[in-house]
Amino acid sequence: MAGADGDDSLYPIAVLIDELRNEDVQLRLNSIKKLSTIALALGVERTRTELLPFLTDTIYDEDEVLLALAEQLGNFTMLVGGPEYVHCLLPPLESLATVEETVVRDKAVESLRKISQEHSPVDLEVHFEPLVKRLASGDWFTSRTSACGLFSVCYPRVSSTVKAEIRQHFRTLCSDDTPMVRRAAASKLGEFAKVLELEYVKSDIISLFTALASDEQDSVRLLAVEACVSIATLLPQEDLETLVMPTLRQAAEDKSWRVRYMVADKFSELQKAVGPEITKNDLVPAFQNLLKDCEAEVRAAAANKVKEFCENLPEDNREQIIMTHILPCVKELVSDTNQHVKSALASVIMGLSTILGKDNTIEHLLPLFLAQLKDECPEVRLNIISNLDCVNEVIGIRQLSQSLLPAIVELAEDAKWRVRLAIIEYMPLLAGQLGVEFFDEKLNTLCMAWLIDHVYAIREAATCNLMKLVEKFGAEWAQNTIVPKVLGMANDPNYLHRMTTLFCINALSKACGQEITTKQMLPVVLKMSNDQVANVRFNVAKSLQKIGPILDSNALQTEVKPVLEKLASDTDMDVKYFAQEAISGKLSYHWVLKPFNRLSYI
Amino acid sequence: LSSSSLLLHHHHHPWSPIMETTKSMRRARQRRSHSSSQFRYQSSQVELTPLPLLKDAPVAELHDLFCKKLQQCCVLFDFLDCVADLKGKEIKRAALNELVESVATSRGVLIEPLYPEAIKMISVNIFRTLPPSENPEFDPEEDEPTLEASWPHLQLVYEFFLRFLESPDFQPSMAKRYVDQKFVLQLLELFDSEDPREREYLKTILHRVYGKLLGLRAYIRKQINNIFLRFIYETEHFNGVAELLEILGSIINGFALPLKSEHKQFLVRVLIPLHTAKSLSIFHAQLAYCVVQFMEKDATVTEYIIRGLLKYWPKTCTQKEVMFLGEIEEILDVIEPSQFMRIQEPLFKQIAACISSPHFQVAERALYFWNNEYILSLIEENCQVILPLVFATLYRVSKEHWNQTIVSLIYNVLKTFMEMNSKLFDDLTASYKVEKQKELKRERERAELWRGLEEYQERRMQMLTEAARNQRNLQERGERGDTLNPSSPQTAHSDQPEPKPSGASSGAGESAT
């Protein structure tokens, strides 16, 4: 390759463009993804004068290719010669910002936003802002939706006349004929408000906000709720009541559940944005209504916010508000007809105990926890159990243990294996909080029973659980309570249970340490190398490889090696394979000590 | 557009009852869920008392009584509680039945003052925010829909509305004051109802509204466009796409020629992109019908259609690919030969790709084209173009495909081609190997090109980093007080692509300033 040092005659643009035009979409896509390589080979000048015009002209392609192109162009500034020339990238991105496919358009807008920062203020006015205007007045809705995302990036850096124009364009788009554009504008309203001067927030944004929040389509109205958060943050407290609250109150009682859902979903943000006074007077009743909404979706969204809402209440009368206004609603939700509502509540309700303190928790919350622990829906019970730590700090878990145990036992035996799996995952946490005695007495049997579950995922999780328990309670505990039971399973008639012994050993050996591993576990593993079932034998090989690092070299040489060599000449192909794997694996581990042995296995 | 050009003749389409499958039986939930979010906006409950029967009313009092019954029917009931206010529910049901009966059978009932009352009663009953779906992953093909709980009343209200629109006494000039844009917009939103019974009524009603209220037509079309565009590009969820398409099928049927650009735009920017939807199978029959209607109206849109379908051809979903092939066959069935020649090349490249699909249903569906006599005649006329496009695929797949049926179908196709043009066939057979070699060579060249490009890039990158480091060093020295001119930006951009200085320093210059 004579001129590979970069002589551009080696890569005539035609050849490269051919690659970008390849008939096969996949190849075309590959080429586009490496567009920077092509641009680099062409040099900045030809990239500007030849490659970019080509790209601009041929924007009719598969969306996948266009998406890659839109992304590439956002990182192209250096390849066209730096910020001075960055505006060359605008024409292709402008076309991309008008295509139908949302993903492509959004990516083009993202790239445009990125390169807008690389424009000098002059270039921004000369090149970028006219593009935004063109998009904003485009015929088809796609270009107008794209424009919505570009106002806020140029507004802060242009002159005041241009600023006035931009505000005018944004206003127009907020009352666009098509709901798609109004949605785009509504979703950018908050972002745009943030870059505006306060006087224009009050004069322009508020009227747009009010209009969008009472749009005929609920999909537009609900986006205005999002904007409400940003707008309320920008305004001084004294203006909130007149400028924002009428609209927010109306949204909280909107006839469409989607809008009410949005209010519930953004409740914590709204609460922070409007401050403690308005929260007390307006948001508390609004929140009560949302918790009692007729639509389960809304109730669930509100239930999710209970803890956060209470946490953020003004401290001076937080307890009183919770006790008189919120708690009665919460009590009703505990016996809601919809399980999503109950389980949303169960995932946060425990958090209230830290806010309300010991006495209130025992008197008011504990009955609710207990009721939820007995709920018919397993997800509710699980959510309570998974958050036990909050209560533990306040009243100690013992208060609950009476009800906790039946709930755990029931979940542990649930017919759905995913439920069993979920409760297993909380075992180490529970064990930590309940203490070793309680655990040994009540839960140990469950943990052992999972080892012979008929679903593999449960057996696997059960082994992992044992490992975490040993890490918690120590090797001595392991030796006394679980190791004998695990090793006993090695003689089980069911080969799956015998394999579980091996899996447990794999998991436990490290936590149990060299002593237990060598003295108690290793003999069992070695004995199992004579198992009739090949699956057990090759798992022996795997186990030996696993526990090898924990054993001392004497045990390795005298006990492990002969067994592995025997397995390496097994009649079963898989056993042979894994034995050989183990041998080479282990010996390479000890290679530093016995460099010569290794040669015989190469 | 005269309203008579609007025909509704879809009911006998062979595809109407597509989705009665055993699958839905299998997964049917034990409990049929009902839902209604309608009742809750009425705060105080009014007690209904039965009114005299319409048929017993003296003529002079008939209109007044009719009006009272309409007002009575504005009261809403809680159907989620099935034992609540049974008496009231029965009174309303009876009143609705009477209203339906009266509007359907007696003449002279519909006088002007009743229009606002009737439309108000309809609006109060049917317009509501649809409840959230009980099953967020609702799959209309597999799952049982949630049925509207208040259907016993709602059905009668819809029935009344329909009879009202169809009554010989119905006066569009009076109705248009109340059935306005806002009304229609709310009506269209109801098409998202999960209850198929409701959508069926809505379909017929909207069709009548479109037919009778000419001033609303453009608006209805525009709003349907908006619904579709939101469905395609934003939510991918709308239950009534099939029903709306069915109405559009008859609207397209009534388009005047030449087609307005608005209509062409609808085809290209809405109907064709609808093919990308995940749930295409639910409304594909209606969609394909609309597409073919367009072609039959104006053959010049053929090329847009085929190129559009090729652009959105499914990449991974074989089930959709089979649907696309089915639609292509429907299109080819009515294509004009001159139009066929314009699109044959890209089309048969795609067909060749389908034939080599490892999914036998896709390959089979494509090969069935050769059983269609009209398509076969088009292929024969253009054999010189088409055979070279598909030959290599047929030849290769005939040797490689795992499915015996496909292999034998391909042999038939090859035989047909041989009979069509044996000379060309022999030439292609002879040159097959050479072509294959050429293709391999092209591939090697491409690999070579990219390797070169990437090596070059790597070297450039190294140089750039090095230059940047030097620049930094220089600058640091400058900051320490050594006098050194930073390289001027002008020289940095003199764009000799190579060897070391300029391109490299343009990057380096940047990081330094």
Tens digits of per-residue pLDDT, B456-482? 888 888 887 888 788 778 777 766 654
Neighbouring C-beta atoms of residue A530, cutoff 10 Å: 11
**Average pLDDT taken over every residue of chain A:** 87
* pLDDT (0 to 100) of residue B416: 92
Rounded CA gap, B496 and B275, in Å?
Answer: 49
A549 touches chain B (CB under 8 A): no
Neighbouring C-beta atoms of residue A134, cutoff 10 Å: 14
Which residues contact residue A14 at a Cβ distance below 8 angstroms, ignoring those fewer than 6 apart? none
The SS3 call for residue B388 is: helix
pLDDT at B251 over 70: yes
Rounded CA gap, B339 and A370, in Å?
Answer: 74
Q: Calculate mean pLDDT across residues A355-384.
A: 86
Alpha-carbon gap: A16 to the closest alpha carbon of chain B (Å): 9
> B347 to each of A21, A125, B390, B406, how far by Cα in Å?
18, 46, 11, 20
- What interhelical angle do A218-234 and A257-265 show, nearest 10? 30
Q: Calculate mean pLDDT across residues B191-211.
A: 95
- Residue recorded with tokens 């409950």: B45
| Element housing B34 (H / E) | strand B34-35
* pLDDT (0 to 100) of residue B10: 37
Q: Under an 8 A CB cutoff, do A141 and B229 touch?
A: yes
Q: How sure is the predictor about A21, in pLDDT bands with cuts at 50, 70 and 90? A: confident
| Residues within 8 A of B (CB atoms), A 463-492 only | none
Q: How sure is the predictor about A60, in pLDDT bands with cuts at 50, 70 and 90? A: low
pLDDT tens sequence across B82-135: 788 888 889 999 999 999 999 988 888 888 889 999 999 999 999 998 988 877
Helices and strands of chain B, counted as H and E runs: 22, 2
* pLDDT (0 to 100) of residue B478: 65
pLDDT at B9 over 70: no
Higher pLDDT, B491 or A462: A462
Higher pLDDT, A263 or A448: A263
Confirm if A252 and A263 have CB atoms less than 8 A apart. Answer: yes
Higher pLDDT, B18 or B248: B248
* pLDDT (0 to 100) of residue A582: 86
Q: Calculate mean pLDDT across residues A380-385.
A: 85
* pLDDT (0 to 100) of residue A595: 35
DSSP state of B403: -
Report the residue of B457, B464, B494 to disrupt the A interface, i.e. the one with the largest count of A CBs within 10 Å.
B457
pLDDT at A584 over 90: no
pLDDT at A590 over 60: no
- What interhelical angle do A102-116 and A63-73 show, nearest 10? 10
| Element housing B315 (H / E) | none
pLDDT tens sequence across B142-174: 788 888 889 999 999 999 999 999 999 999 999
Rounded CA gap, B52 and B69, in Å?
Answer: 10
Q: How sure is the predictor about B16, in pLDDT bands with cuts at 50, 70 and 90? A: very low
By mean pLDDT, which of A279-283, B25-29, B102-106, B490-494 is the weakest? B25-29
Q: Please report, as a single letter, which amino acid is at residue B19.
A: M
pLDDT tens sequence across B389-409: 999 999 999 998 899 999 999
Report the residue of A33, A38, A100 to disrupt the B interface, i.e. the one with the largest count of B CBs within 10 Å.
A100
Rounded CA gap, B233 and A99, in Å?
Answer: 11
Q: In this structure, what token pair is assigned to residue A26? A: 């996949």
Confirm if A259 and A218 have CB atoms less than 8 A apart. Answer: yes
Higher pLDDT, A598 or A562: A562
- Quick one: what percent of chain A has pLDDT higher than 90? 47
Rounded CA gap, A381 and A373, in Å?
Answer: 5
By mean pLDDT, which of A59-63, A405-409, A502-506, B115-119 is the weakest? A59-63
* pLDDT (0 to 100) of residue A537: 92
User: Out of B37, B449, B497, whose CB is closest to A43?
Assistant: B497
> B153 to each of B97, B118, B418, how far by Cα in Å?
9, 15, 67
What phi and psi values does residue B427 have, to the nearest 5 degrees? Answer: -60, -45
Residues linked to residue B35 through DSSP beta bridges, in sequence order: B148
pLDDT tens sequence across B279-293: 999 999 999 999 999
The alpha helices in B106-146, defined as continuous H runs, are 114-126
C-alpha torsion angle, residues A104, A106, A110, A115 (rounded to 10): 60
* pLDDT (0 to 100) of residue B18: 25
pLDDT tens sequence across A255-308: 999 999 999 999 999 999 998 889 988 999 999 999 999 899 999 999 999 999
A429 touches chain B (CB under 8 A): no
Q: Which residue from B405, B396, B332 is spatially nearest to B362, judged by alpha carbons?
A: B405
**pTM beyond 0.90, yes or no:** no
B108 touches chain A (CB under 8 A): no
Q: Which residue from A564, A583, A490, A485 is spatially nearest to A528, judged by alpha carbons?
A: A490
| Residues within 8 A of B (CB atoms), A 10-69 only | 10-11, 15, 19, 23, 27, 34, 36-38, 40-46, 62
Rounded CA gap, A19 and B70, in Å?
Answer: 71
- What interhelical angle do A296-304 and A284-291 show, nearest 10? 130
What is the sign, positive or negative, of the torsion defined by CA atoms of B198, B199, B205, B209? positive
Rounded CA gap, B463 and B460, in Å?
Answer: 5
- Which long-range CB contacts under 8 A does A392-399 form with residues at least 24 apart? A392/A433, A393/A353, A393/A354, A394/A353, A394/A354, A394/A357, A394/A358, A394/A361, A395/A353, A395/A358, A395/A361, A395/A362, A395/A366, A397/A433, A397/A434, A399/A362, A399/A366
**Please, is B36 exposed, middle or buried when counting C-beta atoms within 10 Å of its C-beta (0-12, 13-18, 19+)?**
buried
Confirm if A38 and A20 have CB atoms less than 8 A apart. Answer: yes
- Quick one: what percent of chain A has pLDDT higher than 70? 94
Q: Under an 8 A CB cutoff, do A6 and B499 touch?
A: yes
The alpha helices in B275-382, defined as continuous H runs, are 280-297, 302-311, 318-333, 337-355, 360-367, 373-381
A260: chain B residues, CB-CB within 8 Å: none
Alpha-carbon gap: A101 to the closest alpha carbon of chain B (Å): 7
- Residue recorded with tokens 């209230």: A352
What is the sign, positive or negative, of the torsion defined by CA atoms of B463, B464, B468, B469? negative
* pLDDT (0 to 100) of residue A164: 94
Count of residues in chain B: 513
Q: Which residue from A543, A541, A483, A545 is spatially nearest to A511, judged by alpha carbons?
A: A483
Confirm if B209 and B220 have CB atoms less than 8 A apart. Answer: yes
A84: chain B residues, CB-CB within 8 Å: 489, 493
Neighbouring C-beta atoms of residue B484, cutoff 10 Å: 11
Rounded CA gap, A333 and A322, in Å?
Answer: 15
Rounded CA gap, A97 and A109, in Å?
Answer: 6
Rounded CA gap, B225 and B227, in Å?
Answer: 5
Half-sphere exposure of A523 (CA within 13 A, CB side): 7
- What interhelical angle do A296-304 and A257-265 show, nearest 10? 10
Q: How sure is the predictor about A43, in pLDDT bands with cuts at 50, 70 and 90? A: confident
- What interhelical angle do A388-395 and A398-412 show, nearest 10? 160
* pLDDT (0 to 100) of residue A586: 54
User: Out of A6, A46, A255, whose CB is closest to B41?
Assistant: A255
- Quick one: what percent of chain B has pLDDT higher than 90? 57
3-state secondary structure A24-92: CHHHHHHHHHCHHHHHHHHHHHHHHHHHHHHHHHCCCCCHHHHHHHHHHHCCCCHHHCCHHHHHHHHHH
Neighbouring C-beta atoms of residue A408, cutoff 10 Å: 22
Q: Calculate mean pLDDT across residues A507-511.
A: 87
Q: Under an 8 A CB cutoff, do A45 and B495 touch?
A: yes
> B416 to each of B136, B364, B380, how far by Cα in Å?
51, 16, 9
User: Distance between alpha carbon A414 and the CA centroid of its chain, in Å?
Assistant: 28
pLDDT tens sequence across A185-231: 999 999 999 999 999 999 999 999 999 999 999 999 999 999 999 99
* pLDDT (0 to 100) of residue A5: 42
Q: Under an 8 A CB cutoff, do A257 and B497 touch?
A: no
What phi and psi values does residue B293 have, to the nearest 5 degrees? Answer: -55, -45
pLDDT tens sequence across B297-349: 999 999 999 999 999 999 889 999 999 999 999 999 999 999 999 999 999 99
Q: Please report, as a single letter, which amino acid is at residue A530.
A: N
Q: In this structure, what token pair is assigned to residue B86? A: 């049974």
